[in-house]
Structure 1
Amino acid sequence: MTTAQVLAFGGVVALGAMSPGPDFAVVMRRSALAGRAHGMATAVGVAAGVFAWAIAAATGVAALVAMSSVAFTIIKLVGAGYLVYLGVNALRSAWRSRDFRSDPDAERTAGSGLWGSFRDGLLCNALNPKAAIFFVALLPQFLSADAGLAPMLTLSLIAVVITAAWFLTVANLVAAARRVLSRPAARRFIDGMSGTALIGLGVRLAFTTAR
């Protein structure tokens, strides 16, 4: 691979990471709800999901998922259900929230530990078959048919680093404004908007086709 190819690959991955989607909604809500550490853990979970799909695409597994209607349907329905679940929880929190400090949903989120935040980010990405389609379409443009393990790992790591850098930035920016965002009105707005977005993205994912 040439430097130009690596830069081009990184640019495409960056645009994909920055596009609004469930990953962004989950990282933003975790950061505003439970703070910087939880937001960063969610960001790392998203990056782990990207790494899994990149490796799956490089080894041909993601192509099988994209081509198998059964596998694609199962993954997308489970992923859609998970997004709707997260969205409903956010809307329930918006409905009953009166004070951030006494909100039971906030307490459960903070009390679930960093693993819970990491898990949300990981599952949000790993259960999205659109990520499989993205990498199946992208990697062959930068890897030859006889590419070895090193180029595959290189591109996969580039995808992880770029994704992690973007979402860690989002987590830190949102967490920095947490004092403002923790106000009851702001909190209800964030929960309502993120909940609506997650449910909408879940429904959209449920009707996504492989082609």
Structure 2
Amino acid sequence: MVTGVQMLAFMGVVLLAAMAPGPDFIIVTRHAAVSGRRAGVAAGLGIASGVFVWAVVAAFGVAGLLAASAVAFTVVKLVGAAYLGYLGIKALIGAWRRGERVQVDAHLATVRALVAFRQGLITNLLNPKCAVFFVALMPQFLSSTPHTGETLLLSALAVIVTAVWFTVLANIVGVLKRFFTSARVRKVLDSITGTILVAFGVKIALD
């Protein structure tokens, strides 16, 4: 049975991993800055959903197959790198074409929230390093013969920690949304985040 101390330690490790700058961080920051807190939180919830998937499959050993198979790992890695490159290039094209102030009505905000959730989920699921992370982490906090309740508990804790962190981040960045909707600032933001996403894609592909 997982003790309270083990749960706190597990949550601490997951929080540090979530706070580390990476594709997830950039996705949430960009959506919160461009479309507001709702979209940023949606992206964070998408990432948290991906974390839940990885935590569960790692606990049941499925992710271990991905981590152990060079071919499977490479395929997921390259697909994930291509997806990040796609998001980055899309942002760069938006920056080059931008010439007017950004206006976001309620309907568009809803659409963007759904898009943000999807992008957060896919970005996380296509990052094989998440599989490796949970394959290495979960066994340290599970008993030698873990039961389903134990596995789901740690998976839920991973989701809660991830969701809370990215919700906080989205709200902090979202406060500055009015500043980021300036056409000039938005162009700079798209250029920077697009370049970083492409760079992450290249890095993941070459690792």
Q: Kindly indicate whether the alpha-carbon contact (under 8 Å) linking 2:35 and 2:177 is maintained by their aligned counterparts in 1.
A: no
2:153 is equivalent to residue 154 of structure 1: yes
| Unmatched runs of 5 consecutive residues or more in structure 1 | none
The aligned counterpart of 2:190 is 191
- Counterpart of 1:71, as a letter, is A
Residue by residue over 1:163-189, the C-alpha shift from the partner in whole angstroms, topping out at 9 and shown as x without a partner, is: 000111111111111011111222122
1:80 maps to amino acid: A
Q: Who is 2:99 aligned against?
A: 98
Does residue 138 (structure 1) correspond to residue 140 (structure 2)? The answer is no
Q: Which residue of structure 2 lines up, in the alignment, with residue 39 of structure 1? A: 40
Which stretch has the larger CA shift, 109-118 or 14-23?
109-118
Q: Which amino acid aligns with 2:54?
A: W
Q: Per-residue CA shift, 1:60-119, capped at 9, x if unaligned? A: 01100101112111111111000000000111111122223279xx9xx75744321111
Aligned mates of 1:10, 1:110 — CA distance in 2: 32
Q: Which amino acid aligns with 2:31?
A: R
Q: What is the one-letter code of the residue matched to 2:21?
A: P
Distance, in Å, in 1 between the alignment partners of 2:113 and 2:154 is 28
For residues 41-120 of structure 1, the aligned pairs below 5 Å read: 41-101=42-102, 110=109, 112-120=111-119
C-alpha distance in 2 between matches for 1:207 and 1:79: 12
- Post-superposition Cα deviations, 1:128-155, rounded to whole Å, max 9, x if no partner, equal 0000000001111111220111111111
SS at match of 2:21: coil
**Deviations 1:37-75 (CA, angstroms, capped at 9, x unpaired):** 211111110000000000010010110010111211111
Q: Which piece of structure 1 moves more, 76-85 or 26-35?
A: 26-35
Structure 1 residue ranges, 4+ long, deviating more than 3 angstroms after superposition: 109-113
* Aligned residue in 2 for 1:2: 3
Q: In the alignment, residue 117 of structure 2 is paired with which amino acid?
A: F
Native 8 Å contact 2:54 2:125 kept in 1:
yes
TM-score (norm 2): 0.93
- SS at the partner of 2:143? coil
Distance in 1, matches of 2:84 and 2:133, equals 19
Q: Is residue 166 of structure 2 the alignment partner of residue 167 of structure 1?
A: yes
- SS state at 1:101 partner: coil
State TM-score, norm by structure 1.
0.91
- SS class of match (2:99): coil
Question: In the TM superposition, what is the alpha-carbon distance from 1:125 to its structure 2 partner?
Answer: 0.2
Q: Are residue 122 (structure 1) and residue 121 (structure 2) matched?
A: yes
Q: Secondary structure at the match of 2:121?
A: helix
2:38–2:113 contact (8 Å) kept in structure 1? yes
Q: Provide the aligned length of Structure 1 versus Structure 2.
A: 205
Contact persistence 2:102–2:182 (CA under 8 A)? no
Letter matched to residue 91 of structure 1: L
Q: 1:41 to 1:111 in 2, by over 3 A?
A: closer
Task: Output the CA distance in 2 between the equivalents of 1:147 and 1:136.
Answer: 14
